[in-house]
Structure 1
Amino acid sequence: MDFATAMGYLGCAFAIGIPAIGSAIGVATAGAASHGAMAKVEEGHGKFIGISAAPSSQTIYGLILMFVLMGKVANSGLAVLGIGIFCGLACAASAIYQGKVAATAILASSKKQEIFGKCFAAAGIVESFAIFALVAGLVMAGNLQ
């Protein structure tokens, strides 16, 4: 296996691995907040669990990108490495910050249940940046030979 091909496979690994690390951090942050909130309130625990899982979607985006990039490794290994690293980092950052926003949403809505929907909207906006990175990665991969 030549160097460029090896680097391409490394890029595929980064495309899934880096977002998975970010998702783990984001889910842990939001999950910890949900545990604290569930100890304080008597109802609505399901929505706390649901929003705390939101940062896991960035790993799905990384998986999609990895599958697309796998088909490009043989001809464009170094480009695949770059796409995998930078799109992976964008997804990871989105997941980490979405976890922080979800944690504050959980804490806020544990005091005022009626604001949960508005709080969830902010978490969705943070996720949109991972979607932008995925789309950009797919477009770039689609232009590779």
Structure 2
Amino acid sequence: MSAFLEQFGGIGLAFLGAALAVGLCCVGSARGTGMTGEAAAGLLSTAPEHFSKCLILQVIPGTQGLYGLVIWFFALNVMGAFSGGIQPLTVTQGLTIAVSCLPMAIGGYRSAIYQGRVAAASITIAAKQPNDWSKGIILCVIVEFYAILSLLASILLLMNAL
């Protein structure tokens, strides 16, 4: 068992970290965009002229899924996937890559959900004050800032992982 863990454990841990980054960020983005879409559907049933405003608000919580994909690519790049093949990794190296992906995995998941809640609430602005709907975008951008910090943390950790 120890030989198996030494041979494949590092690679497995690194893949796990990369998968968590993209997977959790995409799940969070799906929840956030879903919440916003549900709120938008209610408004659009009575005021279809607000479709573009609703669409913009719905897209915003989807950015975390893209950030997770960026970290997935970074992790695979560190592992050597784009330069001729995955290099063997020790358990310590694999764990280092996995932990480096966690800021984006956790921060992206949670911020996408919270951003979706803000975007869904901002649909009310579009409904009641159509000229002020962009204030909802500003509220969403404040949440986005923390997703960007998570992205930056994971990138900096991965750049120094091996």
Shorter-chain TM band:
over 0.9
In structure 2, distance between residues paired with 1:2 and 1:42: 54
The structure number with the bigger radius of gyration is 2
In structure 1, distance between residues paired with 2:78 and 2:55: 38
Structure 2 residue aligned with 1:111: 128
In the alignment, which of 64, 78, 93 is matched to residue 72 of structure 1? 78
Structure 1 residue aligned with 2:43: 37
In structure 1, distance between residues paired with 2:160 and 2:102: 17
In the alignment, which of 47, 52, 62 is matched to residue 56 of structure 1? 62
Q: Secondary structure at the match of 1:144?
A: coil
In structure 1, distance between residues paired with 2:156 and 2:53: 35
Unaligned runs of at least 5 residues, structure 2: 1-6, 80-87
User: Which shows bigger deviation, 73-82 or 96-105?
Assistant: 73-82
Structure 2 residue aligned with 1:136: 153
Q: How does 1:15-26 map to 2 (within 5 A)?
A: 15-26=21-32
In structure 1, distance between residues paired with 2:151 and 2:108: 8
Q: Percent of aligned positions with the same letter in both sequences?
A: 29
Q: What's the Cα RMSD here?
A: 1.3
**Cα distance, 1:55 vs structure 2:** 1.0
In the alignment, which of 104, 118, 123 is matched to residue 101 of structure 1? 118
Code of the residue aligned with 1:16 in structure 2: it is V
TM-score of the aligned structures, taking structure 1 as reference length: 0.93
After superposition, the Cα gap between the structure-2 partners of 1:37 and 1:6, relative to the gap in structure 1 and judged at 3 Å, is same
Whether contact under 8 Å (2:17, 2:98) holds in the other structure is: yes
Structure 2 residue aligned with 1:126: 143
Code of the residue aligned with 2:120 in structure 1: it is A
